[in-house]
Amino acid sequence: MAYAVLLLLGGAAVLTAGAEAAIRGAGRLALDRGLSPFLLGALLFGVDVESLGAALIAAGRGQTSIAAGEAFGTIVFLFSAAFGAALLLSRSPIESPAPNMVLLPAAALAIGAVALSDSVVTRPEGFALVAVYVLYVNLVVRESRAARVAAERIEREAREGPGLPIPVLLVAGLALVYLGATVLVSGGVRILHRTSLSAGFVGAAVIGALASADEVLLEVLPVRRGMPDLATGNLFGTVAAFSTGVLGLAALVRPLEVDSAAASAFVAAAALYAVVATVFLARGRAGKLTGLVILAGYAGWIVWASGV
């Protein structure tokens, strides 16, 4: 069991380092080829590269419930632990983004729910889910300041990063993403074999949380620095990305069989989204009480889902 924990922690660390290097290398490549960094920011809008890598590797290894659970667990972790911490640490209530930004992810969740209705996500459904996410990006990203700020950050990191050749930085980053995701999933599989926990729960509550740990900073820091729209843009963009695009890409790697624990993670993700979206639409802002509610909801889901 201790070895499994070491695999999980080590894999998460390598995965995070690889994702940072890969994004930096891709940003430098865009600058070198005269491409707009905004394009890269748009493509990565709401997508956590570490969690994407873990979901794809899990699907490739045949651990499809882990892959689905990881995708939904990323949403759950971001809407509870990450955004809850941001709300509690914010000096004042966080203002709501534009209503369309709040509401559009609901359509993505509804389409994801349709794909999951028979507990299987096929490759054709995977293509359709990816297409839905592309449509979402086209509808939202051009008017999203969050995507522009993400593009500016990518461009800044590309210019300030280590002076390695672009191919070396990009290939090394992607290799580390693959290695880190493989080690992380291996740790999850070992826990799965040594406990009575279900595959979906391991994917959602363990791998999803570890792969998304850096998202806490991506929620807290923008709020503390007076850029809450970057935090909320990342928040709602993640719902659409992982309930459609990432789920679809994982299904393209291997059709997904989703167990009850992974399905419960999807329900928890939808419920947390509904709470935050309702508060934003009804009051125009969210504060510490909302933070406490979503953190309590996360704790309750962990306790309940661990027995599913």
- Tell me, what CATH number does 135's domain have? 1.20.1420.30
Q: What is the rounded CA–CA span in Å between residue 144 and residue 165?
A: 32
In contact, 184 and 210? CB cutoff 8 Å: yes
Q: Token digits for 236?
A: 């709602």
What pLDDT sits at residue 131? Answer: 94
Gap between the Cα atoms of 128 and 106, Å rounded? 17
Q: What are phi and psi of 56, to 5 degrees?
A: -70, -40
Show Cβ contacts of residue 271 under 8 Å, excluding neighbours closer than 6 positions: 297
Structure confidence at residue 42 (pLDDT): 56
Closest listed residue to residue 110, CA positions, set 270, 286, 287: 270
- Residue 28: which of 20, 41, 37 has the closest Cα? 37
pTM: 0.83
Residue 119 and residue 101: Cα distance in Å, rounded?
28
10 Å Cβ neighbour count for 182?
20
User: Domain tally for the chain?
Assistant: 1
**Both tokens of residue 82?**
């990450």
Domain that holds residue 200: 2-305
Q: How far apart are CA 102 and CA 100, in angstroms?
A: 5
Q: Which helix (H) or strand (E) holds 120?
A: strand 120-121
pLDDT per position in the chain (308 positions), as tens?
666 667 666 666 766 666 666 666 666 666 666 655 555 655 666 677 778 888 888 898 889 988 998 899 999 988 998 899 889 988 889 888 888 888 989 999 999 999 999 999 999 999 999 999 988 888 876 666 656 666 666 666 656 666 666 666 667 766 776 677 787 777 777 777 778 778 888 888 778 877 777 777 667 777 776 767 777 877 888 898 899 999 999 999 999 999 888 899 999 999 999 999 999 999 999 999 999 999 999 998 888 877 65
- Classified as helix, coil or strand, 94 is strand
